[in-house]
Amino acid sequence: MRHLTYYQAVREALWQALEADPRVFLLGEDIATYGGVYKVTEGLLERFGPDRVIDTPISENAIIGAATGAAIAGMRPIAEIQFADFIASGFDPLVNMTSTIHYRWGQPVPMVLRAPAGATWASAGPFHSQSMEAWFAQIPGLKVVMPATPADAKGLLTAAIRDPNPVIVLEQKYLYRRMTGPVPEGEHVVPIGEAQVAREGRDATIVAWGTMAFKSLQAAEILAAEGIDVEVVDLRSIVPWDRETVLASVAKTGRVAVVYEAHRTAGFGAEVAATIAEEAFQALDAPILRLAGLDTPIPAHPVLEAEYLPDEHKVVEAVRGLVGF
């Protein structure tokens, strides 16, 4: 199977959706002429024209509002927010309208909100590096996915485009060009709400998503050299999330670390940990461990950013303590 980078896989999903369905169109800041900040949409304007690849004003409120209206009218808009942090400027339509319309009216809202999320690991500072999946997980009516591999980036985006509900696709900036992997040609759909056991193991479970799934796999290889066999569950979907796969893994290993990039306090990992405590307490041989970003704004200085973020070495240290408990 041919290999693509993460961002190439996203572009292929967009290209194929535009070709397959005339209702699909893209809108966002600098996505047309410039091809997007990360060049994900490069070439789409030339192929599909300005009626389907639309540069918008710098207004997240307007982008989300326009996409919501278009979805209600029968289109399938894919809105890009240039950096996921900027969704805060469009919270009013997203939280008060987009997420509630199906509940209030019975009207589907088939729209996708794409956003580069998380740290760049290149010191982009607090306005361009946040991991805010917990914001959206708290809002009924929104689905949220965070793919960690190129194949899942294509497959989950394709599933999101076809979904009758609003789906937020948080694409990991760190992985755009660093992650390369096999991606099926043609149609490829990864069902929303299904986790993947990315690595099987017997001594402990790591539950992670996005960049931290990648870092956790790196940590598992380091630990394997020490004789510690770690299972890694890549959650992939935040809402809905796959409790069954997580609980089955915890029942198998008896120890679990939940690793996420967002702030530790009230991060989505707290929801995962609470569910494990409620539904798998008898299976646990050690306390549930959470490893996450610090409870501060993410720093711009590279040394401080490295201190703030979890990485494979911090995961290794944490799992050593967990297994030795």
Do the beta carbons of residue 146 and residue 170 sit within 8 Å?
yes
- Map residue 5 onto helix, strand or coil: strand
Question: Does the annotation mark 128 as catalytic?
Answer: yes
Q: Name, in order, each residue with C-beta under 8 angstroms of 296's C-beta and a sequence gap of 6 or more.
A: 263, 308
C-alpha closest to that of 213 among 178, 174, 259, 172: 259
Looking at residue 173, its amino acid is: K
**What is the H or E stretch that residue 247 is in?**
helix 243-253
Catalytic-labelled residue, pool 3, 128, 188, 263? 128
**CA separation for the pair 233, 274 (Å, rounded):** 17
Backbone torsion region of residue 211, taken as left when φ is above 0, otherwise alpha when ψ lies between -120 and 50, otherwise beta: alpha
DSSP 100: T
Alpha helical stretches, state H, 186-234: 211-224
Tokens of 316: 């290794």
Angle between helix 243-253 and helix 268-279 axes, rounded to 10 deg: 60
Do the beta carbons of residue 5 and residue 176 sit within 8 Å?
yes
**CA separation for the pair 252, 231 (Å, rounded):** 10
CA dihedral of 240, 245, 251, 256, whole degrees rounded to 10? -70
Residues catalogued as catalytic? 128
